[in-house]
Structure 1
Amino acid sequence: MKGQFLTDRGKVRNYNEDAGGVFYNSFRQLLAIIADGMGGHQAGDVASQMAISLIEEKWKKSNELYSAEEAEQWISQAIIEINESIYAHALANSEYEGMGTTVVVTICTEEFITISHIGDSRCYLYSESGFNQMTEDHSLVNELVRSGQISKDDAEQHPRKNVLLRALGTEENAIAETQSVWWKHGDRVLLCSDGLTNKVSDEELASFLTTDSDINEIGKQMVELANERGGEDNISLLIVWHDSTLKEGENPC
């Protein structure tokens, strides 16, 4: 498995509140994560970086996960602990009051992937069944779409498009959605913040993922397109390609 993370400040923002990374435990299992921070006075980048650092530290100490059930338990506990840490940090530091972050995280083994998310950062999977969005945005407009009050087209221009219903670190308890699916050689996972999905359609994302180009080059092209269309937000994405099993002793990084 290969993973590539890219992030860009965009054309408008003065700083980047997104964070992410690709990490391996000692059993060569991969964890991919993207976090899109929120909060005034650059508190958003504190929240997102805390989420990344905490899960990286925890993952590198983890045991090998043999089943989807184990992976789901591990990721659920990790999110609980990270939420508690961010929430406590905000309470202890008035300048970070109200800070939080979205998070989308995927554990990738040879047989399955486990996906968990809070907020509107997304996970997509490209496989033999096509290109599918695996997560549902925890946002006001998505709930309006789901309930039939507005159309998907209306949602794109809705004035409260950026209002989240869930985030990591903003409340004492965080509720993430977690699922596991099988995947195989040749499949690709895309994690991304809304800085990408607000500018690039699902159809366009699919066209990028179905090419034979290097995943780093694919990611750069996605970022460039989002910036060409305004780049009002930070843009982050992460691609994991199930190419082959690592050979014994090979460095995955």
Structure 2
Amino acid sequence: MKGKFITDQGRVRNHNEDAGGLFINNANQYLSVIADGMGGHQAGDVASQMATAIIEEKWLESSEINKPEEAETWLKTVILQVNKEIYAKSISQKECKGMGTTVVMSICTSDFITVAHIGDSRCYMINEDGFSQITEDHSLVNELVRSGQITHEDAEHHPRKNVLLKALGTEEIIYPDIRTISWEAGNMILLCSDGLSNKISDLELQSFLETDESIEDTSKNLITLANERGGEDNISLVIVHHELHTKEEGEPTC
């Protein structure tokens, strides 16, 4: 298994409110995370970085996960804890009032992935069935699409496109959406903030992931294209490729 995390400030923002990473536990299992912060006075930075740091710490302490139920319980427990800590900081420190963050995270084992998310940062998957988005945005426009009030095309240009219905740290208790999907050699997942998904269509994302380029080059090319199309937002992504191969010296596999 191989993975790559990359984040970029973009061409307009004066700081990066995204955070994330690709973390490996003692059993050489991958956890990928993307968090897109929000809040005044750069408090979005605080929320997304807090979320990522706590998640990383808990993952590095974790033992091997063998069953989907274990993965789902771990993700729910950690997200509830992260939410509690961010919420407490937001109400105890004036400069952090109202801060929050999206989060999308995936535990990758050799047989399955378990994905949890809050907000509009996304997870996509490519496998034998094709390319698909496996998370549902917790956003106003997505609810309008689901209820049939607007079309997907309308959603792309809706004036309230950035309004979230759920974000980590904005309520005392909040629950993520969690799902487990089987996966096998050759499959790939992409986690990203809306700085990427707002600039590059699903068909384009699929074409990038289906190239023969390395995931490092693919990641850089996606960032470059999002910036070429305006780069108004921070851009972050993680790609994980389920690739069975012999372990090279110094290279983690799972």
Q: Same fold by TM-score, threshold 0.5 exceeded?
A: yes
Aligned residues: 253
Distance 2:164 2:239 in 1: 24
Letter aligned with residue 206 of structure 1? Q
Q: Would you say the 8 A contact 2:76–2:175 is kept in 1?
A: no
1:21 aligns with 2:21: yes
Distance 2:26 2:9 in 1: 32
CA distance 1:239–1:224, change in 2 (3 Å): same
CA distance 1:64–1:232, change in 2 (3 Å): same
1:150 aligns with 2:159: no
CA-CA distance at 1:211 after TM superposition? 0.8
Q: Would you say the 8 A contact 1:103–1:121 is kept in 2?
A: yes
Residue of structure 2 in register with 1:65 after alignment: 65
Q: Would you say the 8 A contact 1:166–1:175 is kept in 2?
A: no
Distance 2:250 2:186 in 1: 20
Residue of structure 2 in register with 1:205 after alignment: 205
Q: Tell me the C-alpha RMSD between the 2 structures.
A: 1.3
- SS of match in other structure, 1:155: helix
Runs in 1 of length 4+ with deviation above 3 angstroms? 245-251
Q: Would you say the 8 A contact 1:120–1:138 is kept in 2?
A: yes
Any residues of structure 2 matched to 1:158-237 within 5 Å, and which? Answer: 158-237=158-237
Letter aligned with residue 152 of structure 1? H
CA distance 1:137–1:92, change in 2 (3 Å): same
Q: Which consecutive unaligned segments of at least 5 residues does structure 1 have? A: none
Any residues of structure 2 matched to 1:7-156 within 5 Å, and which? Answer: 7-156=7-156
Q: Would you say the 8 A contact 2:83–2:172 is kept in 1?
A: yes
CA distance 1:246–1:97, change in 2 (3 Å): farther
Q: Which consecutive unaligned segments of at least 5 residues does structure 2 have? A: none
Letter aligned with residue 92 of structure 1? S
- SS of match in other structure, 2:102: strand
Q: Which moved more, 1:153-162 or 1:240-249?
A: 240-249
Q: Would you say the 8 A contact 1:37–1:47 is kept in 2?
A: yes
Letter aligned with residue 16 of structure 1? N
